[in-house]
Structure 1
Amino acid sequence: MATRFKVCNCNRTMPLDAAAGVAIADAVGVSALPVASQLCRREVGAYLDTLEGSDQVVVACTQERALFSELAAQRETVAPIRFVNIRETGGWGKEARQAMPKMAALLAAAALPDPEPVPSVDYMSGGNVLLVGPSTRVMPWAERLAAQLEVSILLTSVSGNDVLLERRYPVFSGNRVRVDGWLGAFKVRWEQANPIDLELCTRCNACINACPEDAIGLDYQINMAACTGHRDCVKACEAIGAIDFTRSATSREKEFDLVFDLSDQPLISLHQPPQGYFAPGGDPVREAEFALQLTQLVGEFSKPRFFAYKEKLCAHGRNKKTGCSACIDICSAGAISSAGDHVTVNPHLCAGCGACTTVCPSGAMTYAYPRASDLGRKLQTLLTTYAKAGGQQPALLLHSEESGAALIDALGRMAGTRSAHGVPARVIPVAMHHVASAGIDVWLSALAFGASNVLILLTGEEAPQYVDALEQQAGISRSILAALGYEGRHIELLQASSALELDTELQRPQPAAVPAAPATFHVDAEKRTTLRFAIDHLVAHAPVPATEIALPAGSPFGAVAVNTSACTLCMSCVGACPESALIDNPAKPQLRFIEANCVQCGLCEKTCPENAISLTPRLLLDSRARERVVLNEAEPFHCIRCGAPFGTLQMVENMLTRLAGHGAFAGNLDRIKMCGDCRVVDMMENKQEVSILDVKR
């Protein structure tokens, strides 16, 4: 599909003229690119003319996105329309005149076809909301929300006359509250602590009048410190049965679509709570914001299924031994759990951060929104177009679509008034759903494509474990690049919570060394394949030749060392290895190793009954990485009956030594020296001999 571009210099506030239009047109592959000055006003006719036909249209303006979209709707155009921001991202700022290559790159990336759709995760909410917390907070919000939502309340403490006399919605009381679930499917459990069940109580005041200690007030809860246990209130309540001091079944459970947690401390402490759960933590402003969001969560909703999981590649566990648990440990939404030898992901809880895919060493967990191949294509397009337009030393700025984009926009507006430097000309912003979804495979690929730096913008919204994981991934990348002689700091984490902080942070990174020629491979769906492509290219153009690189702990590459004096070649490690890095030899007792397959999950180390295995993180860069290396071999033991080799001499001798004193085996040690077939034959012959003796007797 052809693409038409509409570019505007925003009333001449950007240094875009006819000459710049020619240069950008050449870089993005179109014959001409007129530059407007007031595309949204007096030159709007040029925009409307572009809508004729079915070719997609890329408009280099997000300021007037709503206007351009409305005009297209009025025209009933069939042309797909996309918008890209070239103003705040570089057109305004001290380096705006040098930003033409970046603008061309952003336009070219905006013209890329949409990625293939991914499966969706659906939610259904009827608006049944539970308000939980102290009555002083819960009751006022219950009154306000009752007109728009189906309200229920669970009071963890009651003060004064906070309980409504009129039964307008269900009222419960209790403690030890537990909330599980997600939008449309929350399950709330609690303990009915007070003898008075507020849901059964009719507010008749009979108990209040009957209580001689005045232990019951208009909150309809018994003050147990004042109660002497005379039980006059129980008699007054009679058949209603709302008061029970001997209640044995105190557990309560209800289902709700939404939960408004007004407790001082949230009942769900996850950094990323499930959708439909709101916990303002006593902040009145956030209470109001969340209340508004609650009213909008009625109906059917869907979100992308952010991940794809290939169990056969997973290095989580084997034979009830746990190896890699990186995805479980890092998930801030509690969406990933162990299921024995593999993991399970609850798509309704998954928030789409993608950190699990970044730390997964094998590529069993991959990000699907967008897929790695789609992101790789975008980065390659940005860098290729930037270079074609004459740009040098490009830096990619990976940022979140919400907080990160807002900071960049704010910085751009400040730069437009000359109160900030603005986004440097060589820095190309790349919006992502979450910055934690890209790791070493994407970063090294970007450097292989020609990026001088990969910058990851952190705004404070990230879970602490995400920051730690990104730092670890950056450390691995730096170790590889430094060993290959690429000077500079290629991977940087920038932290900013304001536009001014971002302005300062963006001036800090310096261009780092890149390969002499950009790579042409495509980012593959398989993480390990992409890593191999990227590292091979970096090695091919490395300033310093290297065949082996020492890596920090936690790296997805490395060697396995075997203590041959302890190893009995039982091959338990072979059965435990999920990546076929450890393999046996059917022809003879040999333990072999293919280092390129190893993800350093540690399952072999934990499975080995002799504790003979240790791991060494490193990266081999020559042919040894793919060779089958013998880690241990032994003289085979030959069956004493048929002479066929089986097992190893060391293993059989160890078994004979251990079982010689055992009563059950002492008389049958020769069978241990036989192969499996001969052992069966010997047992059958012995059984026949015993039967013949019995007959003779």
Structure 2
Amino acid sequence: MPTTLLLCDCGGTQPVDRDAIARATGHSCPKVGTALCTTQAARVAEALSAPEADVIVACRQEAPAFEALAEELDVPAPLCIDIRDRAGWSDEGAAAAPKMAALLALGARPRTPAKTRDVVSDGVCLVIGPSEAALAAAEDLADALAVTALVTDLPEILPGPERRFDVVHGRLRRAAGAFGRFEIAIDGFRAARPEGRGPLGFDAPRDGAKSTCDVILDLTGGTPLFPAHEKREGYLRPDPGDPRAVARAVFEAAQMVGTFEKTLFVELEPSLCAHSRARQTGCTRCLDVCPTGAILPDGDAVTVDADICAGCGACSAVCPSQAIAYDDPPVGEIMGQIRALGAAYREAGGRAARLLVHDAGHGREMIALAARMGRGLPAAVIPFEIGSLAAFGHAEAMAALACGFDGVEIVLGPRADRDTLGAQAALVDALTEGAGLGTGRMRLLDLADPDALSDALYAGAPDPIDAEPILPLGRRRDVTRLAVRALAPEGTAPIALPAGAPYGAVAVDRDACTLCLSCVSLCPSGALLDNPDKPQLTFTEDACLQCGLCANICPEDAITLDPRLDPSDAALAPRIMNEEEPFECISCGTPFGVASTIERIVEKLASHSMFINSDNVKLIQMCDDCRVKAQYHSDAAPFAAGNRPRTRTTDDYKQ
């Protein structure tokens, strides 16, 4: 049965081209409604009640009403997709049919469910702060949680009529963990004594007291206990001078008891990680950008603490090998969504599209306010909501440009990772400039006013890109290379990139290189390889992660990194970086070693006392087999023990 698409002009406030949308989507589109959520709800009920009904309602704002209607009818709820705030309510709403078709096509795509695991909170709460604030909050929480108040001062504290929570005094030395498993250490720990008249008394102080809790309510107003504290689940830190903020935090803490689902935001494949080899540090990109400290070294790879990870996605954007990949949704699904948006928009007759990337909080609200109170979005600007802005890196932006979009705009929220996004935008600028498309194709819109957002989007569009859309498959680095090849003219020279870029070549100083091949043994991606038949070092640029391990390990400092991207086929083939003739064994003629190295060693040892007037120098010029044979048969053979003694028998003792 074909899908039924219910369109609504929302009381005549938005133009809806039913025929154009029906042609573009292939759905059955009945007459456009005016108030499907209220007076025309019977039309929705009729569509939902049809046998094997597959219904899409082009309205996300009233989704609860449609879901309630479906529940009354005991039928599956319809899929609700917003086309009003993102397309119809606009100064260019009359031309927004292609965008509406694209948004409907994207909304109907299946989504990969988020991977989760259970986190259990028993409701053990630590309240920290001055006694006046901490005791008041603890009193409010005592009915819902098991509370301990850690007071930072010691005025006269009068106990209540009944002891509803514990009171301690001390200095919090360390806090670690996340919601459901915080670990704390307190110095100067003093527990309140419940016995005695008058103010509370406390035990003698002691250092190093340790405990655990599920929730921390920090009312100190001082330095946060954790980096990026607003991303640490279970850690609440309101402004103690704002009673409303404290009340909200107390209410939120009271709800934090039970079993909760924790989303697993990233997927880790340690075998791909280029962090270190043989105790030599290489790539540290994910460690450098993780705001919460959820990523830690773990041998040659890294490990991710899923409890601490807040899902910002910055690690996925900067990882050169995709050892860490964003998984909510997976990177491949994001690429597929971008392609689907561009394809549906073009098939509906749209031209000169731009992708507007935003989050589900600040960005969605900005778009809704701009639509309701201002000019809305231009007809060629297609919103694309993503769970975390920092997960949208240079690879996704280049995929968008190669899938039919002329530019990418990112609406920054108050908590956006500006440094990571800025670095990714600089990398896109380098790639597009090298491809002949100029800069500014990935813009960061750091705006808090909806009208300013509309003005920035209406102000002008980048020059159109004339390129055949690609199919963005494979790893992020594969998509980037494919996009650059599609966008750049044939014969484009290697594109210089900023330092720290995950693409590039290496330069080898042949005069310094001794072909020891230590770089080959440590290269995590196989970009550097040897030749088993002769002393030779080869390099494949496409595989290079620019992790720096080869440069760090080289004993002669003969290797330097050259961040760049070569869009030609030359980057896919190995090329010789250094080679020499092997030395031939003076005994059997078998090639071994490097001729210049053997000759240099012989020259340096020629004046050594152990090699003057000795055959020892010849041992250096022999292969392994001949060297062992020569030593075995020499007069000073280390294994020689003379003739074997005659075996004694019983007859020898009878004489």
Query: Same fold by TM (over 0.5)?
Result: yes
Q: Deviations over 1:420-443 (max 9, x none)?
A: 221111111111111111112211
Task: Give the match for residue 631 of structure 1.
Answer: 577
Q: Deviations over 1:634-672 (max 9, x none)?
A: 121223343322221233345456677889999855444
**SS across alignment from 1:600:** coil
2:235 to 254, 274, 277: 277
1:538 to 487, 495, 516: 487
Instruction: Identify if the C-alpha distance between structure 1 residues 447 and 33 changes in structure 2 by more than 3 Å, giving closer, same or farther.
Output: farther
Indicate whether 1:44 and 2:36 are aligned. no
Q: Contact 1:102–1:391 at 8 Å: present in 2 too?
A: yes
State the distance in 2 between where 1:547 and 1:162 align.
78
State the distance in 1 between where 2:502 and 2:337 align.
25
State the distance in 2 between where 1:602 and 1:4 align.
56
Task: Give the match for residue 298 of structure 1.
Answer: 257
State the distance in 2 between where 1:155 and 1:678 align.
79
**SS across alignment from 2:430:** helix
1:341-352 paired onto structure 2 within 5 Å:
341-352=300-311
Q: Which moved more, 1:498-507 or 1:319-328?
A: 498-507
User: CA shift at 1:186, angstroms?
Assistant: 0.9
Instruction: Identify if the C-alpha distance between structure 1 residues 664 and 445 changes in structure 2 by more than 3 Å, giving closer, same or farther.
Output: farther
Q: Which moved more, 1:52-61 or 1:177-186?
A: 52-61
Instruction: Identify if the C-alpha distance between structure 1 residues 675 and 502 changes in structure 2 by more than 3 Å, giving closer, same or farther.
Output: same
Task: Give the match for residue 473 of structure 2.
Answer: 523
Q: Deviations over 1:225-272 (max 9, x none)?
A: xxxxxxxxxxxxxxxxx337xx6xx21001111111112222223255
Q: Deviations over 1:316-346 (max 9, x none)?
A: 1111111111111101121101112111011
State the distance in 2 between where 1:136 and 1:71 align.
50
Task: Give the match for residue 110 of structure 2.
Answer: 113
In structure 1, the gaps of 5 or more residues are 206-216, 222-241, 415-419
User: CA shift at 1:484, angstroms?
Assistant: 2.3
Q: Contact 2:194–2:201 at 8 Å: present in 1 too?
A: no
1:33-182 paired onto structure 2 within 5 Å:
33-51=30-48, 52-78=50-76, 81-115=78-112, 117-161=113-157, 166-182=162-178
Q: Which moved more, 1:632-641 or 1:681-690?
A: 681-690
2:204 to 243, 246, 254: 243
Task: Give the match for residue 535 of structure 2.
Answer: 589
State the distance in 1 between where 2:589 and 2:381 align.
72
User: CA shift at 1:310, angstroms?
Assistant: 1.9
User: CA shift at 1:39, angstroms?
Assistant: 0.7
Task: Give the match for residue 198 of structure 1.
Answer: 191
Task: Give the match for residue 649 of structure 2.
Answer: none
User: CA shift at 1:577, angstroms?
Assistant: 0.8
User: CA shift at 1:162, angstroms?
Assistant: 5.7
**SS across alignment from 2:367:** helix
What letter is aligned with 2:547?
C
User: CA shift at 1:680, angstroms?
Assistant: 4.0
What letter is aligned with 2:169?
S
Q: Deviations over 1:264-317 (max 9, x none)?
A: 222223255421111124342322222111111111111321111222221111
Task: Give the match for residue 385 of structure 2.
Answer: 431
Task: Give the match for residue 201 of structure 2.
Answer: 220
User: CA shift at 1:693, angstroms?
Assistant: 8.1
User: CA shift at 1:474, angstroms?
Assistant: 1.7
Task: Give the match for residue 226 of structure 2.
Answer: 268
Indicate whether 1:692 and 2:645 are aligned. no
Indicate whether 1:288 and 2:288 are aligned. no
State the distance in 1 between where 2:185 and 2:441 align.
50
State the distance in 2 between where 1:665 and 1:262 align.
77
User: CA shift at 1:95, angstroms?
Assistant: 1.4
State the distance in 1 between where 2:384 and 2:256 align.
30
User: CA shift at 1:150, angstroms?
Assistant: 0.9
Instruction: Identify if the C-alpha distance between structure 1 residues 13 and 652 changes in structure 2 by more than 3 Å, giving closer, same or farther.
Output: same
User: CA shift at 1:56, angstroms?
Assistant: 3.4
State the distance in 2 between where 1:515 and 1:404 align.
29
Q: Deviations over 1:2-32 (max 9, x none)?
A: 532111000101122xxx1001100111244
Task: Give the match for residue 448 of structure 1.
Answer: 402
State the distance in 2 between where 1:136 and 1:655 align.
78
Q: Deviations over 1:172-200 (max 9, x none)?
A: 2211431111111111111125xxx324x
User: CA shift at 1:447, angstroms?
Assistant: 1.0
1:502 to 421, 445, 453: 453
**SS across alignment from 1:198:** strand
Q: Contact 1:399–1:430 at 8 Å: present in 2 too?
A: yes
Q: Which moved more, 1:607-616 or 1:549-558?
A: 549-558
**SS across alignment from 2:13:** coil
What letter is aligned with 1:548?
P
Aligned length: 639
What letter is aligned with 1:324?
C
State the distance in 2 between where 1:274 and 1:671 align.
64
What letter is aligned with 1:674?
M
What letter is aligned with 2:199?
L
Indicate whether 1:357 and 2:316 are aligned. yes
Task: Give the match for residue 12 of structure 2.
Answer: 12
1:613-632 paired onto structure 2 within 5 Å:
613-632=559-578
In structure 2, the gaps of 5 or more residues are 647-655
State the distance in 2 between where 1:188 and 1:268 align.
12
What letter is aligned with 2:201?
Y
Task: Give the match for residue 651 of structure 2.
Answer: none
Q: Deviations over 1:121-167 (max 9, x none)?
A: 32100111111122121100011110111111222222332665853
State the distance in 1 between where 2:201 and 2:609 align.
73
Q: Contact 1:454–1:492 at 8 Å: present in 2 too?
A: yes
State the distance in 2 between where 1:564 and 1:424 align.
57
Q: Contact 1:320–1:341 at 8 Å: present in 2 too?
A: yes
**SS across alignment from 1:446:** helix
Task: Give the match for residue 209 of structure 1.
Answer: none
User: CA shift at 1:501, angstroms?
Assistant: 3.1
**SS across alignment from 1:385:** helix
Q: Which moved more, 1:128-137 or 1:648-657?
A: 648-657
State the distance in 2 between where 1:283 and 1:436 align.
32
**SS across alignment from 2:454:** helix
What letter is aligned with 2:139?
E
Q: Contact 1:448–1:515 at 8 Å: present in 2 too?
A: no
State the distance in 2 between where 1:150 and 1:157 align.
22
Q: Contact 1:58–1:110 at 8 Å: present in 2 too?
A: no
Q: Which moved more, 1:86-95 or 1:447-456?
A: 86-95
2:211 to 241, 254, 257: 254
What letter is aligned with 1:597?
A
Q: Contact 2:265–2:326 at 8 Å: present in 1 too?
A: yes
State the distance in 2 between where 1:638 and 1:173 align.
78
Q: Contact 2:123–2:146 at 8 Å: present in 1 too?
A: yes
State the distance in 1 between where 2:609 and 2:65 align.
91
State the distance in 1 between where 2:608 and 2:63 align.
83
Instruction: Identify if the C-alpha distance between structure 1 residues 391 and 654 changes in structure 2 by more than 3 Å, giving closer, same or farther.
Output: same
State the distance in 1 between where 2:215 and 2:611 align.
65
State the distance in 2 between where 1:290 and 1:662 align.
78
Task: Give the match for residue 441 of structure 2.
Answer: 490
Q: Contact 2:5–2:28 at 8 Å: present in 1 too?
A: no
Identity of aligned residues (%): 37
**SS across alignment from 1:174:** strand
Q: Contact 2:429–2:439 at 8 Å: present in 1 too?
A: no
Q: Contact 2:4–2:28 at 8 Å: present in 1 too?
A: no
What letter is aligned with 1:9?
D
State the distance in 1 between where 2:159 and 2:563 align.
63
